[in-house]
Amino acid sequence: MEKDENEIEDEEDFAGFASEEEEDREEDRVTAAQEEQVEQKETPKEAEERPASLGNLGQPSDLPSALGVSLPTIDTANDPQEFSQLNLSEKTMKAINEMPFRTMTEIQRRAIPPLLAGRDVLGAAKTGSGKTLAFLIPAVEMLYSLRFKPRNGTGVIVVSPTRELALQIFGVARELMAYHSQTYGIVIGGANRRAEAEKLGKGVNLLIATPGRLLDHLQNTQGFVFKNVRALVIDEADRILEVGFEDEMRQIVKILPKEDRQTMLFSATQTTKVEDLARISLRPGPLYINVDHYQEHSTVEGLEQGYVICEADMRFRLLFTFLKKHLKKKVIVFFSSCNCVKYYAELLNYIDLPVLDLHGKQKQQKRTNTFFEFCNATHGTLICTDVAARGLDIPAVDWIVQFDPPDDPRDYIHRVGRTARGATGRGKSLMFLQPNEVGFLQHLKKARVPLVEFEMPAKKILDIQSQLEMLIGKNYYLNKSAKDGYRSYLQAYASHSLRSVFNVNELDLRKVARSFGFATPPRVDINLGASMKKGVEGRRAYGSQMKQGKRFTGHRGRR
C-alpha cells in the first residue's frame, strides 16, 4: 500500500462536489435544533423493470375508491407551524422542547392536528420527513388524556417492519414520554420472549413491535391485556408487506378490538396489498396526506448525488481509496448480500481500515449494538445490506456509498435517505456502476432522481491489487469468506429485478473475481431456481476461464 494513504489529495477527486471544507463551514452555521430535527419516512418498493414515476403518489386517482379517502384542504398560512401552537399537554411539550424541536416538518403540520382530533390517517412522506413524531405525539397525548395506567394494559400499538426501526421508534418514544407516567415497551423477533411476556403482564401502555413477535404475544401470552387498544400505527406498511408479513398483519388487525380504535397507516406506495390492508384496518373515510407529490425531485434537496463508472476489477480499489480519504467522515456503504458484507468487513478490518458491519444474518444483540455504536460515533464507516436502508435515523451521516447498485430506483431512494435528513439536512451520495450497468441511470431519471457523473483519476486510485491477491491466497479464512462473498454477489446479481440492465451473463467474471482478491475466478455453484424467471431454472456453475457473453451451464477448465 502506497505512502500517505491517510492524506490522499483532495483536489478534484470527484468532479461535481463542493469542497468538504466549504460544507463543514456551512454546517457550523446550522443550529443544533435544526440539525437534530431528523425523522423518517420512506418512499416505495418498485415493481419489476417498470420504474413508474414517483410523482403520482398523491393523486386521488391512485387511491382505491372503496377506501373513501378524503383529501385535506391545504392552507399552510393558517396551519400551526410550531409545536407550541398544538395545545399539547405540558409534559409532552417539555419533552419536545428538550429534544429540542420547535418548528414542525410538513408531515407533522398536516398529520398531527387531525390525528389529535381522532381521525384515521393514510399518510405518505419522503424519508427524513419527521413522520415518527407525527404519529407518536398523538398516541402519547391519547394515552395521557385517557389516564392510562399499567393495569389498563396496552392502549397504543406501533407495528414496524424491522427490528432496527422498532428500536429507533422506541428510542424516540422514550424521549417523548420522559415526563409521562404511562409505560412503554418493545417486543421484537430475536429478543428474549419470556422477558417480554413478563413486561407485558405488568402492563405496557405504548407498545412498539415487529409483526411476527406481536402476533405471537397476541395469541400466546396470557397476561397481555390488549382489549383496551385505542390506536394502531402501521409504519412502513408497504415494507411490512414486502418482507412477507401480510398474513400476520391480517391476523393482528382481526384480533385487535375494532370499536373506537384509531388507525394510522403510513405507506409510500398504494399497492394492491397496501390498499387491502388499509381497507380492513382503517375506518371509512380516512384522511389521505401526501407531502411529496408536488416536489420536483424524489430525493431531498440537501443531498448531492453522483455516480462513478468503473470496471469490476477496479471497484474494491476505488472503495478502499475512497474510505481512506474519508476516515474523518461518517460513511455508510451498501452491498447486495450478507456474505459480501461479512467478507469485506473482515478484509477491511484485517488491513487496518476499521469498519462496522450490519446484516440480516447477525444475531439481534450484535445488530443492536452495531446500530447504536454507529449512531453514537462522530465518524467511521458502516458497511451493510439493505437491512439499514429503510427508516433508520442515523445522525450526521456524511456519505452514502452504493458499492452494489440497488434493486430498483425506490431502493436507491431508501438508501440515500440515510443522509441529508430533516429540513436542513446535508449529505452526499456516490453509486458505483460498471460500464454494462449505465442503463440504470435512465430508470433513475424517470424516477426524478437528479444525478451527475463524478470522475476519479486513475492515478489517484491506490494500487493494492497484488497485495490483496497475495493476502487472499495465503489466508485460509479470508479466502473462504471471499469465495462465499463472490458466490453471493453472483446470486444477487442473477436475481436482480432489472435484468435488462443487470444481466449476469454480461459480467466479466475475471474482473469480478479480482475485486474479491482472486487472480482467477473460483468455481462456485449458484442456485438460480428461486431468482431467475421461468425457462432458466436450475443450478449453474461459474468457474475460471468462463467465456463471456454466452450462457454457461457447467465448469469450464483451463484452455
Distance in angstroms (rounded) separating the CA atoms of residues 100 and 533: 51
Pick the CATH number of 297-539 from 3.30.1370.100, 3.20.19.10, 3.40.50.300, 1.20.1250.20: 3.40.50.300
Tell which residue, 386, 301, 371, has the closest CA to residue 128: 301
For residue 38, the model assigns a pLDDT of 32
Distance in angstroms (rounded) separating the CA atoms of residues 493 and 495: 5
Distance in angstroms (rounded) separating the CA atoms of residues 394 and 404: 21
Residue pLDDT tens, the chain, 559 long:
444 444 444 434 444 344 444 444 444 433 333 333 333 333 333 333 333 333 333 333 344 444 555 555 444 556 778 998 999 999 999 999 999 888 898 889 999 999 999 999 998 866 567 889 999 999 999 999 999 999 999 999 999 988 888 998 999 999 999 999 999 999 998 889 999 999 999 999 999 999 999 999 999 999 999 999 999 999 988 888 877 899 999 999 999 999 889 999 987 666 777 888 888 899 888 898 887 654 545 555 667 888 999 999 999 999 999 999 999 999 999 999 999 999 999 999 999 999 999 998 888 888 889 988 998 999 999 999 987 556 567 888 899 999 999 988 888 887 887 775 555 567 888 999 999 999 999 988 888 888 888 888 888 899 999 999 999 999 999 999 999 999 999 999 999 989 999 999 999 999 999 999 999 999 888 765 444 443 334 455 555 444 343 333 333 333 3
DSSP code, position 53: -
Rg (CA), the chain: 24
Strands, E assignment, 166-292:
184-187, 206-209, 231-234, 262-266, 287-290
- The answer for residues whose C-beta is within 8 angstroms of residue 219's C-beta and 6 or more apart is 255
User: Angle between the 364-376 and 163-176 helix axes, to the nearest 10 degrees?
Assistant: 50
- The answer for residues whose C-beta is within 8 angstroms of residue 340's C-beta and 6 or more apart is 404, 485, 488, 489, 492
- The answer to whether the CB of 464 falls within 8 A of the CB of 1 is yes
| Burial class for 459, CB neighbours closer than 10 Å (0-12, 13-18, 19+) | exposed
For residue 68, the model assigns a pLDDT of 58
Q: In what order do the strands lie in the sheet with 121-124?
A: 184-187, 206-209, 156-159, 231-234, 262-266, 121-124, 287-290
For residues 515, 520, 526 and 532, what is the CA-based torsion angle, rounded to 10 degrees? 70
| Burial class for 383, CB neighbours closer than 10 Å (0-12, 13-18, 19+) | buried
DSSP code, position 472: H
Strand partners for 285: none
- Please name the fold of domain 81-290: Rossmann fold (3.40.50)
Strand partners for 184: 206
Distance in angstroms (rounded) separating the CA atoms of residues 437 and 337: 18
For residue 152, the model assigns a pLDDT of 96
CB atoms < 10 A from the CB of 495, how many? 18
For residue 530, the model assigns a pLDDT of 44
Residue labelled with grid coordinates 455508510: 332
Could you give the residue range(s) of every CATH 3.40.50.300 domain in the chain?
A: 81-290, 297-539
